[in-house]
Amino acid sequence: MTEKKPKEKRRWLHLPARLLGGLLSLVMMALATLSLIIARPQPEADSTAAAVPQPVLTASPGMTIAAESELPELIRPFPIPVMSFMSGAGVHFVSGSSEDLAVDGGFGRVLSLFWQTEAGQPLILQSIYPATAFSALQGEGWHFSRIAGPTLCGRSSVRMENDTSVRIHIATEEGLYAVLVPSGLSAELSALVRSLQLYTVEDP
């Protein structure tokens, strides 16, 4: 019995040391975790502001014109600039139209201008609002072209083709713009689009 007492004393003496060691270990682990959290790279703030949704339009009656002199009447009420040929481009105006397009919560709008080359080949220009209305770029059998699209109104265009036509389009902050030409005009497309410009008409 006298031999066991010193051993029990030694055990009791070691207990505080063990508790202190365990406590120090917990403190060190907490500090290490905290340092990892502080040192972890934070995600960079998105430098691009979230796109502001464009307001939908109220329904309006469609409009059709048959003379180039009536273009201001067609362009004026359109909510964004309209793509059209500059004067002296060597193409002939045929007709134009503006019609509503169903979008979520309201209406968008498509303005189409129909032109012809001197040889009578059709050219179609489309200005589309809002910029998210890609469904207005309708048609069948389109596929991406292996040829890069030309610059259209200062932006690189997307070029697509089907069996009969070539279409290029761009998206801006305000809307979509598309040019459709017959496949036979493919080689002349770059020259044609250099004569295109965005127009607005102020209220008188």
CATH number at residue 176: 3.40.1000
Hey, is 160 helix, strand or coil?
Answer: strand
Question: Cis before residue 130, ω within 30 degrees of 0?
Answer: yes
Q: Is residue 204 part of a domain?
A: no
Per the structure, the count of domains in the chain is 2
The confidence score (pLDDT) of residue 46 equals 37
For the entire predicted model, the pTM comes to 0.74
The confidence score (pLDDT) of residue 39 equals 40
Task: Tell me the average confidence (pLDDT) per consecutive run of 10 residues in the chain, 204 residues long.
Answer: 51 58 62 43 38 82 96 96 94 97 90 97 97 86 93 96 96 96 95 96 80
134 and 173 inside one domain: yes
The confidence score (pLDDT) of residue 59 equals 87
19 and 82 inside one domain: no
Rounded Cα distance, 108 and 136, in Å = 10
Across the chain, which distance is largest between two alpha carbons, in Å? Answer: 122
The confidence score (pLDDT) of residue 11 equals 53
Rounded Cα distance, 193 and 188, in Å = 9
Amino acid at 111: L
Which range marks the domain in which residue 3 is found?
Answer: 1-38
Residue 176, C-beta contacts closer than 8 angstroms, at least 6 positions apart: 126, 127, 128, 131, 133, 134, 136, 137, 169, 170
Phi-psi category of residue 180: left, alpha or beta, with phi > 0 → left and psi -120 to 50 → alpha: beta
